[in-house]
Amino acid sequence: MKKHNFSAGPCILPQEVMQKASEAILDFNGLGLSLIEISHRSKDFVEVMDTVRSLALELLGLEGKGYEALFLHGGASLEFLMVAYNLLENKAGYLNTGTWSDKAIKEAKLFGEVVEVGSSKDKNFNYIPKGYVVPKDLDYLHLTSNNTIFGTQIKEFPKTDCPLVCDMSSDIFSRQLDFSQFDLIYAGAQKNMGPAGTTLVVVKEDILGRVSRQIPSMMDYKVHIAKDSMFNTPTVFSVYVSMLTLQWLKDLGGIAAIEEINEKKANLLYSEIELNPLFTGFAKKEDRSLMNATFNLADESLTEVFDTMWKEAGINGLNGHRSVGGYRASMYNALSLESVGILVDVMSDLERKG
Ligand SMILES: *Cc1c(COP(=O)(O)O)cnc(C)c1O
């Protein structure tokens, strides 16, 4: 039976990417050796690293604009502290839009003063704060573009004098933005790009080297730039599969093409949530995420019936995060419109049954 994977992360990846990845495990590039047993310094792997780094910049429209793309270890969670290690001298601003920004704030506080410029904690993060004031004297402002757990997404980014840093773990490569408004973007691979293990960091070189503290090599973006993301052994499998996914995206027509599909998927599901009296949306309408739709049953006594129905339809990963409850449908790039259609059919079947 075909599975429809709505998991929040690790996430669905394109089938053709899985196919190529499995071939490379057995025999990479016809070498008679596996991708995961050759030297990362070999010509074949160096080419993978070079390709994925330039593909990332190309898809984001950041080639030749002073940016470097790095593929590092440690997940987005390590970037919470690496960002502060490399950029926080005195004071940084953070917009608190949920669990992940909360964690980023906690780490940054180890390195300097942190101002929360805004927070949506008062309503369990079901909206994006707006109209907040960004102080003039910040080393950087940190935002989380998409709040994976709560299903909210920033639609308009503030203009700032200071560098703008953004955690895009769960919506990178999903929608068109002017990416040059950001000075540092980071994203764990496993939400929209590849398997867990690597983290993409896109950084504008001229914001580095401004802090006075000593930075250990593994924590230092400049070291990783100088070594082309090969300071130590990279997470070869995750990097390779990320390359395949970005090639798949490029062949599809890039971010513009996938954005159109992502909008169709989200519109289909949100219309059902709005029209079907058995469901209520969690996130505020204007801030709803194209990637993660959060919703609840209006009558919780239907939980068992609904859960049985979507599981029988081959749907996986629909349970909401424990801090929100209810349901969360994650509609990352590789999820098809057809899969969203199956979910919507189950929801309307439930209404018909009463
Ligand atoms: C999942 C997630 C993280 C944490 O990623 P790890 O790679 O597990 O450290 C951080 N930020 C956002 C927005 C996420 O969705």
Q: What is the pLDDT of residues 92-109, one digit of tens each?
A: 999 999 999 999 999 999
Please tell me whether residues 189 and 263 are part of one structural domain. Answer: no
Answer whether 80 contacts ligand 1 (Cβ < 6 A): no
Per-residue pLDDT tens over the stretch 240-297 = 999 999 999 999 999 999 999 999 999 999 999 999 999 999 999 999 999 999 999 9
Among residues 252, 287, 307, the one where a domain terminates is 252
246/287 same-domain check: no
Residues 123 and 228 occupy one common structural domain: yes
**CATH number, residue 316:** 3.90.1150.10
Average of per-residue pLDDT across 37-55: 98
> In this structure, are residues 250 and 58 in contact, taking their beta carbons and an 8 Å threshold?
yes
Residue nearest to atom 14 of ligand 1 (CA): 169
Domain count, the chain: 2
Determine whether the annotation assigns residue 77 to a binding site. Answer: yes
Residues 97 and 174 in one domain: yes
What mean pLDDT value characterizes the chain?
97
Interval 53-72: pLDDT, tens: 999 999 999 999 999 999 99
Name the domain boundary from 209, 228, 252.
Answer: 252
Active-site annotation holds for 167: yes
Residues 248 and 278 in one domain: no
Q: Which of 95, 91, 122, 96 is nearest to 108 (CA)?
A: 91
Examine the domain organization and report whether 66 and 206 are in the same domain.
Answer: yes
Residue 183 placed within a domain = yes
User: Within this chain, do residues 136 and 25 fall inside the same structural domain, yes or no?
Assistant: yes
Residues 6+ apart with CB under 8 A from 333: 173, 174, 192, 245, 249, 258, 261, 262
Whether this prediction's pTM lies above 0.95 is answered by: yes
* Residue of 96, 145, 170 to mutate, ligand 1, most atoms within 8 A of C-beta: 170
Which residues make Cβ contacts (< 8 Å) with residue 171, sequence separation at least 6?
145, 146, 153, 191, 192, 289, 290, 291
Indicate whether 3 belongs to any domain.
no
Q: Name the domain boundary from 205, 231, 252.
A: 252
Q: Is 148 in the pocket of ligand 1 (CB under 6 A)?
A: yes
Q: pLDDT > 90: what percent of the chain?
A: 99
pLDDT of residue 1: 85
Query: What are the tens digits of pLDDT across the range 309-329?
Result: 999 999 999 999 999 999 999
The reply to whether 10 falls in a domain is: no
Asked if residue 7 belongs to a domain, the reply is: no
pLDDT by residue (tens digit) across 149-174?
A: 999 999 999 999 999 999 999 999 99
Place of tokens 């950029």: 87
Residues 221 and 287 grouped into a single domain: no
pLDDT band for 211, please (50, 70, 90 cuts). very high
Range of the domain at 192: 15-252
Q: Ligand 1 in contact with 197 (CB < 6 A)?
A: no
pLDDT at 80: 98
Asked whether residue 95 falls in the same domain as residue 169, the answer is yes
Judged against a pLDDT cut of 80, whether residue 354 lies above it is answered with no
| pLDDT of 301 over the 90 cut | yes
Confidence class for position 353, pLDDT limits 50, 70, 90: confident
191 in catalytic set: yes
Query: Could you give the CA distance from residue 153 to residue 316 in angstroms, rounded to a whole number?
Result: 23
**149 lies in some domain:** yes
Q: Measured between alpha carbons, how far is 256 from 73 in angstroms, rounded to an integer?
A: 29
Q: Would 118 be classed as within a structural domain? A: yes
Output the CA angle 326-319-118, nearest 5 degrees: 60
If one counts every other C-beta atom within 10 angstroms of the C-beta of residue 308, the result is: 10
The pLDDT confidence band at residue 229, using thresholds 50, 70 and 90, is: very high
What is the model's pLDDT at position 210? 96
Residue 5 maps to a domain: no
Residue 100 catalytic? yes
Query: 42: CA distance to ligand 1 center in Å?
Result: 31
* Closest to 319 measured CA to CA, from 330, 333, 309, 305: 330
Residue closest via CA to ligand 1's atom 1 equals: 169
Mean pLDDT of 185-190: 98
Contact 324, 283 (CB under 8 A): no
Report whether residue 72 contacts ligand 1, using a CB cutoff of 6 Å: no
Pairing state of beta strands 292-297 and 327-330? antiparallel
Residue 195 Cβ < 6 Å to ligand 1:
no
Domain co-membership, 240 together with 259 = no
- Whether residue 211 sits in one domain with residue 128: yes
* Mean predicted confidence (pLDDT) in 6-19: 96
Q: Which CATH number belongs to the domain containing residue 86 in this structure?
A: 3.40.640.10
Using only C-alpha atoms, the chain has a radius of gyration, in whole angstroms, of 21
